[in-house]
Amino acid sequence: MTHRGEPLYPSDVPDGAMPYPPLNESASPRGHLPAGVPPAQEMSVPGPAAPGGFLVARPDRLTPGEVRGTNFARAGRGRRGLDEDEVHAFLDRVEAELVRLGNEKAALAEEVQSLRERLSAGGARGGMPPEEAHFQAVRILSQAQQTADLYVADAERYTRELAHEARLHREAILSDARGRAELMMEEAHQRADRLAEEAARQSALSHPQPAAPVPAQPDGGDRLAAEREIAYLRTYSDVYRTHLRSYLEALLRNVDEWEKSEQNALPARHQPPAR
């Protein structure tokens, strides 16, 4: 069988380069699929330019088997060779098939090109090239990190301020306690002094000074001084103790409360993880 006249389709299809449809070989991405996985739908459908594609047998399409199996009738009586009409009819079909194949190939080439372009522009779903995607990920992670840093810094500042206030509070309590203690002591001193004077006077009245000193007895003045001292100390310590106890107890409650609230505010104590 021979061609008649000019090629019927664009010259970019070289002669003889029309391997009938081994599309499912080598270059096909299907080669990467594990065995048993059916080819993806879109692989078997080249596109609207070639409805049905190569894989679906259609009655009007010429197949290699058909070409090989074609038998032309002998020409009629008085003529040599094959039946001219049959040969022409067959050549028409071959021509139509080649045009169709040429068109389909051009459409596919276009399709491949456009898919390649979409891929290099960052994937089929409006994505971005890998480099850009990486920078985007870096940016997102950086923002998340900055947010975390902000929270950590805020928490630290808050703790610092809280601790600072607690420290001031503590110093104020202690200084107040010292001031009150001094006042208390002063008051105790004055009251004890008064009572001691009183005790000494009472003692002087009930134990009048003997006319002559008795050597075995302590000196009357000394005794008087000692009694005054004892009375002073007893009263002083009583007053002081009472005041101090009630005050310190109140203060202690205050401190306990403070400590408790601070402990409640602390995060739960972690058990160290085993490592």
Partner 1 sequence: MDAQRLKENFARVAEQGDAVALFFYSDLFVGNPQLRDMFPIGMAGQRDKLLRALGLIVSRVDDLPELVPFLQQLGRDHRKFGILAEHYPHVGASLIRTLRYFSGSAWTPELEADWGAAYGLVAQVMQEAADDDSRTSPPWWEARVVAVERRRFDLAVLRVEPDRPLPYLPGQSVAVEVPARLRQWRFYSMANAPRPDNTLDFHVRLVDGGAVSSVMVRTLQPGDRMRLGAPIGTLVLDESSPRDVLLVAGSTGLAPIKAILEQIAQRAARPPAVQLFFGARTRDALYDLEDLRKLAAELPWLTVVPAVSDEAPPRPGFIDVRPSLDGSLARVASANPPPEDSDIEYGALPAVLARRGSWAGHDAYVCGPAAMVANTVDELVRLGVDRARIRQETFVDTQR
Task: Report, in Å, the least distance between residue 209 CB and partner 1.
Answer: 34
Cα 44 to Cα 53: distance, rounded to the nearest angstrom: 7
Residue 103: closest CA among 8, 28, 17: 8
Residue 243: closest CA among 177, 181, 179, 172: 181
In the complex, the residues that contact partner 1 under the rule CB under 8 A are 134-135, 137-139, 141-142, 145-146, 148-149, 152-153, 156-157, 159-161, 163-164, 167, 170, 174, 177-178, 181-182, 185-186, 244, 248, 251-252, 255-256, 259, 266, 269-270, 272-273, 275
Task: Report, in Å, the least distance between residue 127 CB and partner 1.
Answer: 16
Residue 149 or 219: which CB sits closer to partner 1?
149
Residue 160 or 223: which CB sits closer to partner 1?
160
Q: Determine contact, residues 227/175, Cβ cutoff 8 Å.
A: no
- Residue 74 has φ and ψ, to the nearest 5°, of -65, 150
Cα 248 to Cα 266: distance, rounded to the nearest angstrom: 26
Task: Report, in Å, the least distance between residue 159 CB and partner 1.
Answer: 5
Residue 112 or 250: which CB sits closer to partner 1?
250
Residue 196 or 224: which CB sits closer to partner 1?
196
In total, the chain counts a number of residues equal to 275
How many H-runs (helices) and E-runs (strands) does the chain carry? 4, 0
Task: Report, in Å, the least distance between residue 158 CB and partner 1.
Answer: 8
Residue 55 or 138: which CB sits closer to partner 1?
138
